[in-house]
Copies of this chain bind each other. A is one copy, B any other.
Amino acid sequence: MTARKRIGILTSGGDCAGLNAVIRAVVHRAVGTYGWQVLGIKEGTQGFLQRPVQYQTLDLSNVDGHMMRQGGTILGTTNRGDPFAYPMGDGTTKDRSDEIIGGYRELGLDALIGIGGDGSFAILHKLAEKGGLKMVGIPKTIDNDLGMTEVSVGFDTAVGVAVEALDRLQPTAASHQRVMVLEVMGRDAGHIALAAGIAGGADVILIPEVPYSIDSIANKIKQVRASGRNFALVVVSEAVKTAEGTGVKKLLQGGEKRYGGIGDYIGEKIADATGAETRVTVLGHVQRGSPPSARDRLVASAFGVHAVDLIAEGKFDRMVAWSNRGVIDVPITEAIAHYSCVELDSALVKTARGLGISLGD
C-alpha cells in the first residue's frame, strides 16, 4: 500500500508516435490503480520555467478515447533549451536549473516521469542530482539509438512509415524504370534505414555506421539491371555524409546551397555513375507524426505502467527498458552512457547482406 502521491510527467525532445500512449498508461496506473494525482507539465522542462508552472491535471476522463491513437504529445515538447545553459535569445546562455527545481517544488511533486532520449535524460539526471528530484525515465526516440533497451517508443512507427513509402515508390519505379532514393530520418544511427530498407525491399541501404563508395552503389545497381530487373530502391539515412566526409546540410549552409539533404546528393551521384533515371524522396516529419503502430502502443503502455510501479517502490534515477519480451529497469546513468548505433555483426546487418543488399561498402 502506497501513500497518495502527486507525480509529474513531461515529454522532452523530438516528438514521436506513442507518446500519448505512454501518458495514458501512466495516468491509468497512477490514478486508476494507486489513486495518485498526475500533473502533465507543458512543453518538456519549459513548463517548469514559467510561473505559475504550466501544467494540466491528467485523469482518466481526459486520456481515453482517441488520444492514445494519435501521434504527437498532448503535453507539447521541445528540443530547445538545456536549463543548465539556457539560450537567452541574445546569444548568451544562463543556468536556469534552479528555476526548474523550483517549479518541481512549487507543484509539490513526489516524483517526475520524463519521456525522452539520452539528451533529455542527461539533463533530468543532473537536475535530480542537484535538486533532489525523484525521476524515472521512459525511452522514446524514432532513432532507436538509446542503449540498454531493445527498443524505444516511436521506432516501430517510423520504420512502418518508411516501409510504406518504399511500397509506394516501388510500382512507380518499375513503371518508369527508375532508381528511387528514399532519405529517412536517423540523426546519428542507421536503425531506421536498415530496418526499413530490409522490410521495404531495398537494393542499397546507406547508414552512417558503414562507409560507402559511389562505385560500389553503382555496381549494385548495374548488377540489378543485368539480372533483368528494371528498377532499384535505395534507402539513405539522413546521418550519412558526403564522400568528402561532410554532412550535406552543413555543407549546403556553409557553401552555396541551402536546401536538400544527403538523399539528393546520393541520387545525383547514382544518376551520374549509372545513367539511370533517378528520383529522390525525403520523407521528413511524416515519420514522427503518424498514428502509433500497435507495437509502439504496446511498448509505451508497458513502459508507462512500469514507470509508475518504480515510483511506488521508491526506485528512482532509473530508466524503464524493453528486454526479452518484457519490461525491466536500469540505472539511467548506464542508459545515458551507452549509445546504440547499428552493430555490424547484428542480425539485421547479416540479414541485409544475406539478402544481397549492398551497404555501399
> Which of A104-112, A129-137, A158-166 forms contacts with chain B?
A158-166
User: Considering only CB atoms, which chain B residue lies closest to A79 in the complex?
Assistant: B176
**A347 CB-CB contact with B under 8 Å:** yes
The answer on a CB contact under 8 Å between A70 and B171 is yes
User: Considering only CB atoms, which chain B residue lies closest to A195 in the complex?
Assistant: B298
**A301 CB-CB contact with B under 8 Å:** yes
> In the complex, what's the smallest C-beta–C-beta distance from A236 to chain B, in angstroms?
14
The answer on a CB contact under 8 Å between A256 and B257 is yes
The answer on a CB contact under 8 Å between B28 and A356 is yes
Most chain B Cβ neighbours within 10 Å, of A32, A168, A195, A290: A168
User: Considering only CB atoms, which chain B residue lies closest to A265 in the complex?
Assistant: B259
**A127 CB-CB contact with B under 8 Å:** no
The answer on a CB contact under 8 Å between B77 and A176 is yes
> In the complex, what's the smallest C-beta–C-beta distance from A56 to chain B, in angstroms?
14
> In the complex, what's the smallest C-beta–C-beta distance from A251 to chain B, in angstroms?
11
> In the complex, what's the smallest C-beta–C-beta distance from A228 to chain B, in angstroms?
5
Bound-state CA distance A14–B171 (Å) is: 12
**A351 CB-CB contact with B under 8 Å:** yes
Could you say which residues of chain B place their CB within 8 Å of the CB of A68? 201
Bound-state CA distance A167–B21 (Å) is: 13
Could you say which residues of chain B place their CB within 8 Å of the CB of A64? 201, 229
**A147 CB-CB contact with B under 8 Å:** no
**A145 CB-CB contact with B under 8 Å:** no
Could you say which residues of chain B place their CB within 8 Å of the CB of A189? none
User: Considering only CB atoms, which chain B residue lies closest to A19 in the complex?
Assistant: B175
**A143 CB-CB contact with B under 8 Å:** no
Contact with A170, one of B32, B162, B289, B354 (Cβ below 8 angstroms): B289
**A302 CB-CB contact with B under 8 Å:** yes
Q: How large is the interface on A (under 10, 10 to 19, 20 to 34, 35 or more residues)?
A: 35 or more
Contact with A69, one of B32, B170, B195 (Cβ below 8 angstroms): B170
Whether A168 contacts B173 in the complex (CB less than 8 A), given A61-B227, A348-B302, A356-B33, comes out as no
Could you say which residues of chain B place their CB within 8 Å of the CB of A284? 279-282
Contact with A295, one of B28, B71, B77, B156 (Cβ below 8 angstroms): B156
Contact with A199, one of B29, B77, B167, B294 (Cβ below 8 angstroms): B294
Could you say which residues of chain B place their CB within 8 Å of the CB of A73? 175
**A317 CB-CB contact with B under 8 Å:** no
The answer on a CB contact under 8 Å between A294 and B156 is yes
Whether A168 contacts B172 in the complex (CB less than 8 A), given A66-B66, A228-B61, A259-B257, comes out as no
The answer on a CB contact under 8 Å between A199 and B76 is no
- 19 further contact pairs, Cβ within 8 A, besides A252-B259, A281-B284: A25-B355, A69-B167, A71-B172, A72-B172, A76-B175, A76-B176, A76-B230, A77-B176, A78-B176, A150-B324, A150-B325, A159-B294, A168-B290, A168-B291, A279-B284, A281-B286, A302-B347, A302-B351, A323-B324
